[in-house]
Amino acid sequence: MDAVTLARLQFAFTIGFHFLFAPLSIGLSVMLVLAERRYYKSGLETDKRASAFWLKLFIATVAIGVATGVPMEFSFGANWSNYSRFVGDVFGFPLAAEGLLAFFLESTFAGVLIFARKRVSKGVYYASAWLVMIGAHLSALWILIANSWQQTPAGFKIVAGRARLDSVWAAIINHSTVGRVLHTVFASWTIGAFFAAAVCAYYILKGRHLDFAHRALPTALAIGLVSTVMMPLIGDVQARDIITYQPAKLAAIEGVFESGADQPANLIGWVDEGGKKVTGLKFPGGLSLLVGGNTSTPVTGLDEFPRRDWPPVQTVFQSYHLMVSLGMLLILVALIGIYYAWRRRLAYHRWYLYLLLPVAVLPWIATESGWITAEVGRQPWVVYGLMRTSQGASPSVSASQIALTLALFVLIYALLFVAYVWVMAGIIKKGPGRVPVAAEGAVAAQRAVASQGAGGIGEATDEGVGT
């Protein structure tokens, strides 16, 4: 294999692995803040334990997220030095900002959360949880600002063969940035929500930590529902941007080989790149309808582009449709759950609780698929329309060096993955812990008192269900 292919493999593998953990940590940071908010208001031991439980899961995830995130910052220069020369004037700033604004906030106050429960006041601790959550979200914001510029470069001029910043705002608040950030944040919340839902379902099925699980499950499902519903709405806005600025990507997404009106949308299908056709279940005129509001809207096809400028059509098509199908399925699962939660009957539908366990994996698959759609759909460009991926690699790094380090990454990351799953399973098996039996009965009474005192925040718990 040549150096460029190996460098691409290495980048895809390392960022794809990192992208398993970064979204979960963002999603869990929300569960953490909600739990800590409850404790801040109630002061109950059970609520404190619930918060500590989410914190443990969050921190284990952040640890591997940080460990796999650090190499990304340096991989641009190491593996993609020509790319770095070309884009540095625009691209370095958001990376620096990510460190200054996001990582410092998250890491510094995560230190407070882990080690300073007894050293700071409840207020400072609660504020720290917020700052950690904000930091986690800001890191998504800044890295996606950088990524958006790769996708739809703006606010620059080409001077002496390098991109030169021309307008700060145009470069940073790119027209594709807002949609991308929201889409990714809601994807992260979806991952966190269904993960949390699965943990709660596991506890209810096992008859353990019921107070905790019955309280957290409806919350998780509500976050899951909002996030999964928001996703196609934002995606729709993004598609309009893609059709204008990345027409070849949109053509690959639905396998549009010939330009024209009345383009169908596929529910499922198979691309024959050689024969230039898509076999599948089609919704006639669907794509035209989606992008233009009526079926006569023309869509640019791949025929408008020389073959060497096509993205890998099959990969983009399949990853996109996998993402959409899974997204729809997740909306359905969340809807059913919310309905049962509203009727207070979650605990009686064990099939549903069993269903939630494997479903937790689906948001990850959907998110990685969406990411593959966005990034493989950008090919063959590393900066869309300006620099080809093959031109971005490091001339001074040999194929054997990249192969060696890729092998080491695979080895180390496999080890980390096993260790991570083992640690997470350990935390979940241990659970949020039990408040001593004598206190257990008093919890409900305490909570009633606390909720009166704090103006009724303790309502809507599932007390008694399934016990």
Partner 1 sequence: MSLQLVWFGLIGLIMAIYAATDGYDLGVGVLYPFLARTDEERGVLRQSIGPVWDGNEVWLLVLGGALFGTFPLAYAIALSAFYLVIMLVLFGLILRAVSLEFRSHSSGGQARLWDAAFFVGSFLPALLFGVAVGNVVRGIKLGPGTGGQPGDFVGSFSSLLNPYALLVGLTGLAAFVSIGASWAAFKTEGALQERAARARSWAQAVLVVLLVLTTVYTALDSATKTQLSDGLSRAMGWVGVALLVAGLGYGRWAMVAKKDGEAFVGAMTTIFGLMAIGEAGLYPDLVRSLDAGAQAVTIHNASSSHLTLTVMLVFALVALPVVIAYQVYVQRIFSGRVGLEDVEY
The residues in 335-394 that bind partner 1, with binding defined as CB under 8 A, are 394
107 binds partner 1 (CB under 8 A): yes
> Which 8-state DSSP code applies to residue 391?
G
The answer to whether residues 31 and 24 touch, using CB atoms and an 8 Å cutoff, is no
Around Cβ 222, how many Cβ atoms within 10 Å?
A: 15
Given 64, 221, 326, 383, the residue binding partner 1 (CB under 8 A): 64
Q: What is the separation, in whole angstroms, between the first and last Cα of the chain?
A: 60
108 binds partner 1 (CB under 8 A): yes
Q: CA distances (Å), 352 to each of 43, 327, 384, 466, in order?
A: 33, 18, 44, 14
**Residue 14, token pair as written in the block:** 């390392």
In the complex, minimum distance from the CB of residue 95 to partner 1, in angstroms, rounded to a whole number = 4
Of the two residues 112 and 216, which places its CB atom closer to partner 1 in the complex? 112
Around Cβ 264, how many Cβ atoms within 10 Å?
A: 21
The answer to whether residues 420 and 412 touch, using CB atoms and an 8 Å cutoff, is no
Given 22, 24, 32, 97, the residue binding partner 1 (CB under 8 A): 97
- Judged by CB under 8 A, the number of residues near partner 1 is 71
In the complex, minimum distance from the CB of residue 216 to partner 1, in angstroms, rounded to a whole number = 22
Among positions 411-430, residues that touch partner 1 (CB under 8 A) are 412, 416, 419-420, 423, 426-427
Task: Give the CA angle between residues 232, 213, 330 to the nearest 5°.
Answer: 20
Of the two residues 168 and 454, which places its CB atom closer to partner 1 in the complex? 168
Q: Which residue has the tokens 């429960």?
A: 117
Given 63, 127, 230, 338, the residue binding partner 1 (CB under 8 A): 63
Among positions 110-129, residues that touch partner 1 (CB under 8 A) are 110-112, 114-116, 119-120
Of the two residues 93 and 384, which places its CB atom closer to partner 1 in the complex? 93
Given 52, 90, 251, 382, the residue binding partner 1 (CB under 8 A): 90
Given 53, 109, 257, 317, the residue binding partner 1 (CB under 8 A): 109
91 binds partner 1 (CB under 8 A): yes
d(CA 462, CA 362): 27
89 binds partner 1 (CB under 8 A): yes
The answer to whether residues 29 and 133 touch, using CB atoms and an 8 Å cutoff, is yes
Given 15, 165, 222, 361, the residue binding partner 1 (CB under 8 A): 165
Three-class SS of residue 311?
Answer: coil
User: Among 95-103, 229-237, 246-254, 300-308, which window interacts with partner 1 (CB under 8 A)?
Assistant: 95-103
Residue among 116, 115, 102, 123 nearest 29 (CA)? 102
In the complex, minimum distance from the CB of residue 350 to partner 1, in angstroms, rounded to a whole number = 30
The amino acid occupying position 143 is: I
Among positions 66-85, residues that touch partner 1 (CB under 8 A) are 66-68, 70-71, 73-74, 76-79, 81-82, 84-85
d(CA 240, CA 246): 10
Of the two residues 357 and 423, which places its CB atom closer to partner 1 in the complex? 423
